[in-house]
Structure 1
Amino acid sequence: MSFIWLALYNVRFWELSAAAMWHPSAGAVLFMASLFVLAWVVLALLLLLSPTRGVMRAAASAMFVIAAFSAYFMSEYGAIMNQEMMRNVLQTDHAEVAALLNADIALHGVLLGIVPALLVWRVRLPETSWRTQIGQRAIAVVVALGVAVAGMFASSADYATFFREHKPVRYTLNPMAPIVSMVGLVAGSNKTNANAPLIDPAGKIERTAAPAAKPLVLFLVIGETARAANFQLGGYARETNPELAQISGLTYFSNTSSCGTSTAISVPCLFSHLPRTAFKVDAAGRYKNLLDSLVQAGFDVQWRDNNSGCKGVCARVTNIDYNRQPDPKYCHDSNCFDAVMLEDLPETLRKIERDTVIVFHQKGSHGPFYSERYPPRFEKFQPACRSNQLQHCSQQEIANAYDNTIAYTDHVLASQIRLLREASSRVDSVLIYVSDHGESLGENGIYLHGMPYAFAPAAQKEVPMLLWTSEGYVRRAHVQPDCLRTEAKLPVSHDFFYHTVLGAAELRNQAYDRRLDLIAGCRRGGGSE
């Protein structure tokens, strides 16, 4: 069985290994041969270490199903089965699963997963005592490890390069990679004591400005899968931001990098006081976050979700999940267009009497079914890929569908700004938009997102971010728009979000870092400390 897995379910592993290490020489032949033996041994150990034959059969059946689906996503989308990808699997919802289903994956799962999983139980083995079985396995393990180690020593220099310079390849060894990654993820999650009191790293929060005549309203819009390369505001040749391009008071930050390459990482990181280099998603739930500080400061805080949840960020604030209460005007087949979150905003803005923060978690450009993320009237770029099997569409069709999602996001953001402008007699307002991560659209055979950050392409890490301020807020906070436009050319990242939101809300706490506040340096007089 381990031979079958290695030969038939590891196409991606061998493609990446060959691309990394193959060249016409005797040394390369020896390395590839020894790698085959090593991988064979590793997969065999998954079964040899089973305590009984019954457990071995059950494990083999499960691993055929795991290997079948993993092989599909690795081969078709270039996915990497690391812990981050397993976290995405655990946190996905039925709508995201439905968007991935198609005839190809069903056929793949049945023929390469379910059928061999059932055939495993028809294998007849001779009856032997448990002592004999243990002895046989011990001999097999020792011999296999001996052969593998000998091969590694024979090509030790190549292995040093392979393991050090090509780390993502190990996360494509199937079904070893998804199993080890999932076990590691669950083990790490279990170390967190859910009943332990929350740690407050920010301490006391203070207002830095005197009470104003009008309430302050902050719209924090968390985009989904929007990549900077396809934003017209950042220089993209297509008109994907025709409405935002006409709005005054808007600043686009053209050199922004994300905290992660998946929603499960980036969203908690955005609302954490920690920078990307220090942030650990497994520990994020132990700390109070940005929303907690805003509540402590007396703001009304609301999270509106049209995605797969807030990843724990909104646990202690009002939460509206539009997937649980779909509006037929905007929703169909478990999918809601992002405008659903705006339907009651005019009335909400009319009733606001206190400083308020509303977070909008968009569906945005979530793939692979890009054509379902926007209403038909927004299909500006044609022909658009209308399938979740991206490999069956041309590169241009994929780009067209994706660009239509960006154009729809442009419309939603412009609509939010217009609503804030209409309410300017009652409130001062700020809108901050940033995408959680980018997206690969088939470049170098990679689709979607979720690659390990150190090896992910720029398309998955470079994201759009923009800031809009009302005229009332500019006067209230003494903001210099020309200065903001100059600052917008500098490299920034998700690390700036926490501190910029606090600064925009005219708040400070112990975690606040003025150097990471995009507005602070553009207040007349240099801003308050």
Structure 2
Amino acid sequence: MQTQHVSAAPLSLSIRLRERWAAGIPCSSDIAFAFGVSFIWLVLYNVRFWELSAQAMWHPNVGSVLFMASLGVLAWVVLALLLLLSPTRRVMRVAASLMFVAAAFGAYFMSEYGAIMNQEMMRNVIQTDRAEVGALMNADLALHVVLLGVLPALLLWRVRLPATSWRSQLSRRAIAIVAGLGVAFAGVFANSADYATFFREHKPIRYTLNPIAQIVSMTGLLAGSRESRANEPLIDPAGKVERTAATSAKPLVLFLVIGETARAANFQLGGYGRETNPELKQISGITYFSNTSSCGTSTAISVPCLFSHLPRTGFKVDEAGRYKNLLDSLVQAGFDVQWRDNNSGCKGVCARVTNVDYNQKPDRRYCTDANCFDAVMLDDLPQTLRKIEHDTVIVFHQKGSHGPFYSERYPPEFERFRPACRSNQLQHCSQQEITNAYDNTIAYTDHVLASQIRMLREASSKIDSLLLYVSDHGESLGENGIYLHGMPYAFAPEAQKQVPMLMWTSEGYVRRTQLRPDCLSTEAKLPVSHDFFYHTVLGAAETRNQAYDRRLDLIAGCRRGGGSE
């Protein structure tokens, strides 16, 4: 009998737990549900938001305390509105569930990498590929999303709300919204001077309020994309395209190499103390531009901007697809143009030229899983160069130094700096390990560029050639707790905006264009930017159109005595 009594207790407890689970979690109203969920987001999922807000606005005085308190109320009300504006309870539960998962992802990337959830970051999310997604996946992220995303999302469906009419729900929500906004606006009004500073001087912080930042940014991005996809003919800013040089006995070949995530600070050619450019340093005919700034801090912005006639200040990525670009002008000028891609696509730039995507046909000699080393784009180059009979432009879009898995961007034999971080969880590696892995990627890029130059040089009896390399953006390696890239341009550290750029010219090209290398070396010390790329390529191709600006052509002043052409 005693045995039966002991076994009945856990059985009874199990029954009670099942009954409670079946009964659900009681909640007094829709309003309590919305404000309760939003309070959880505000406290547990917005560590980065509060850190940045405190750094920007905190001072040890009563005014700062009142401002931070009012900011908490404002953020709480705004987050609650996401749910209170849902038309039905079911929609509110679905929205809250999805936002828990989004908040879990957002909290992880903002906390671990210092990410900002603005439109540029959402564009990166949309345009990423399987390889980039795989590089970001890890056990910590999976556990974070399960515990802080999936589990709370499932628990929401166990919340039991009292039965009330739809009309009653609506009126109570309306009262709560008006009251909440009234309290929030009163706090803003009482601290108006502080809010003026906060919103004017610290705009990027708003893109860390989780999960509303992702929603607002993605909505704005999709709305802008729909407008830009209108069925309108392409705008041609170039107009008539002309060749400015006499016909030559040799075809002209331009290699345009678009680097990925290479930052100028780690290029030996720019003064970095480590040997990250040992091969390029031995090659004659190279000019390194030591003060180059990018158009954006992400591939999705910088690549379309590079090939646009517009300067960074006038460029809008959502409108880029409406214009013909640099490659269109080169085709119109009679060049054979090919885009070779080992990255996540050309972002619309190569829409009207031949496109070779090496992610779609991986070569086992260079590729493992979804990752290919950049040398995969060079395998057939010697044969290609031997067959060229017409003026040709080949664009190489590198994988380069794309993080966070830097150690996957180079073959094992190129690991010169050790120990190297071998994880995509950079926060678990030391600063030196991260730098070592990153520097190995730069050294491998050095090898790839040097290989391309050697191939062009070996074909010099048949072609005149030029290689122009520039990275799309830079990278943060943990400085001030910031990793990777993609921060708002005005807010981004210099490491994400200062990029390497270099030009190599063959002896045949120098003779052909009467180029003065000593003049070019002098010009290379001046501040330049991605704005110069479009016009310099046109100049290098001995081509002009109506959008060409000689002042932005880096070699215009160093040809034919530096005078007019």
| TM class, shorter-length | over 0.9
Distance (Å, rounded) in 2 between the aligned partners of 1:356 and 1:456: 37
Q: Which of 265, 286, 290 is equivalent to 1:254?
A: 290
Matched, 1:309 2:353: no
- Structure possessing the higher radius of gyration over alpha carbons: 2
What is the TM-score with the length of structure 1 in the denominator? 0.99
SS at match of 1:454: coil
Corresponding residue number in structure 2 for 1:178: 214
SS at match of 2:239: coil
RMSD of aligned alpha carbons? 0.6
Counterpart code for 1:399: T
Matched, 1:420 2:456: yes
Q: Which of 296, 304, 307 is equivalent to 2:332?
A: 296
SS at match of 2:377: helix
Corresponding residue number in structure 1 for 2:278: 242
Counterpart code for 1:109: V
Distance (Å, rounded) in 2 between the aligned partners of 1:362 and 1:26: 53
Cα deviation, 1:14-51, whole Å, max 9, x if unaligned, reads 00011111111111111111110000000000000111
Alpha carbons 1:2, 1:40 under 8 Å: kept? yes
Cα deviation, 1:139-175, whole Å, max 9, x if unaligned, reads 1001100110111111111111111111111000000
Counterpart code for 1:177: A
Describe how 1:452-491 pairs up with structure 2 within 5 A. Answer: 452-491=488-527
Q: Which of 60, 84, 99 is equivalent to 1:24?
A: 60
Describe how 1:210-289 pairs up with structure 2 within 5 A. Answer: 210-289=246-325
Cα deviation, 1:410-438, whole Å, max 9, x if unaligned, reads 00000000000000000000000000000
Quote the offset at 1:192 in angstroms.
Answer: 1.6
Matched, 1:69 2:84: no
Q: Which of 190, 193, 216 is equivalent to 2:226?
A: 190
Cα deviation, 1:234-271, whole Å, max 9, x if unaligned, reads 00000100000111000000000000000000000000
Corresponding residue number in structure 1 for 2:559: 523
Quote the offset at 1:333 in angstroms.
Answer: 1.6
Corresponding residue number in structure 2 for 1:100: 136
Matched, 1:11 2:47: yes
Distance (Å, rounded) in 2 between the aligned partners of 1:492 and 1:438: 15
Corresponding residue number in structure 1 for 2:424: 388
Corresponding residue number in structure 2 for 1:90: 126
Alpha carbons 1:208, 1:528 under 8 Å: kept? no
SS at match of 1:429: strand
Distance (Å, rounded) in 2 between the aligned partners of 1:445 and 1:427: 48
Corresponding residue number in structure 2 for 1:334: 370
Distance (Å, rounded) in 2 between the aligned partners of 1:370 and 1:243: 20
Q: Which of 442, 445, 466 is equivalent to 1:430?
A: 466
Distance (Å, rounded) in 1 between the aligned partners of 2:247 and 2:411: 42
SS at match of 1:452: coil
Counterpart code for 1:267: V
Quote the offset at 1:347 in angstroms.
Answer: 0.3
Distance (Å, rounded) in 2 between the aligned partners of 1:115 and 1:33: 30
Quote the offset at 1:194 in angstroms.
Answer: 4.2
Change in 2 beyond 3 A, CA 1:124/1:136: same
Cα deviation, 1:347-391, whole Å, max 9, x if unaligned, reads 000000000000000000000000000000110000000000000
Corresponding residue number in structure 2 for 1:366: 402
Describe how 1:130-145 pairs up with structure 2 within 5 A. Answer: 130-145=166-181
Q: Which of 88, 97, 107 is equivalent to 1:52?
A: 88
Distance (Å, rounded) in 2 between the aligned partners of 1:194 and 1:322: 31
Distance (Å, rounded) in 2 between the aligned partners of 1:42 and 1:471: 64
Distance (Å, rounded) in 2 between the aligned partners of 1:40 and 1:76: 24
Corresponding residue number in structure 1 for 2:4: none
Quote the offset at 1:528 in angstroms.
Answer: 4.2
Corresponding residue number in structure 1 for 2:380: 344
Which contiguous aligned blocks of 4+ residues in structure 1 show a shift greater than 6 angstroms? none
What is the TM-score with the length of structure 2 in the denominator? 0.93
Distance (Å, rounded) in 2 between the aligned partners of 1:20 and 1:270: 33
Q: Which of 233, 239, 250 is equivalent to 1:203?
A: 239
Alpha carbons 1:424, 1:470 under 8 Å: kept? yes
Counterpart code for 1:32: M
Corresponding residue number in structure 2 for 1:118: 154
Matched, 1:79 2:115: yes
Q: Which of 325, 333, 339 is equivalent to 2:361?
A: 325
Quote the offset at 1:525 in angstroms.
Answer: 2.9
Distance (Å, rounded) in 1 between the aligned partners of 2:549 and 2:42: 51
Cα deviation, 1:222-242, whole Å, max 9, x if unaligned, reads 000000000000000001000
Matched, 1:492 2:514: no
Cα deviation, 1:304-360, whole Å, max 9, x if unaligned, reads 000000000000000000000000000002000000000000000000000000000
Distance (Å, rounded) in 1 between the aligned partners of 2:306 and 2:229: 23
Q: Which of 429, 442, 448 is equivalent to 1:406?
A: 442
Counterpart code for 1:354: H
SS at match of 2:288: strand
SS at match of 1:363: coil
SS at match of 1:277: helix
Counterpart code for 1:471: E
Matched, 1:450 2:470: no
Cα deviation, 1:103-129, whole Å, max 9, x if unaligned, reads 000001100001111111111101111
Alpha carbons 1:478, 1:523 under 8 Å: kept? yes
Alpha carbons 1:265, 1:281 under 8 Å: kept? yes
Q: Which of 72, 77, 82 is equivalent to 1:41?
A: 77
Deviates more, 1:157-166 or 1:233-242: 157-166
SS at match of 2:173: helix
SS at match of 1:456: coil
SS at match of 1:371: helix
Q: How many residues matched?
A: 529
SS at match of 1:256: strand
Alpha carbons 1:290, 1:498 under 8 Å: kept? yes
Counterpart code for 1:76: E
Q: Show structure 1 runs of 5+ residues with no match.
A: none
Distance (Å, rounded) in 2 between the aligned partners of 1:71 and 1:132: 35
Distance (Å, rounded) in 1 between the aligned partners of 2:186 and 2:319: 41
Alpha carbons 1:434, 1:465 under 8 Å: kept? yes
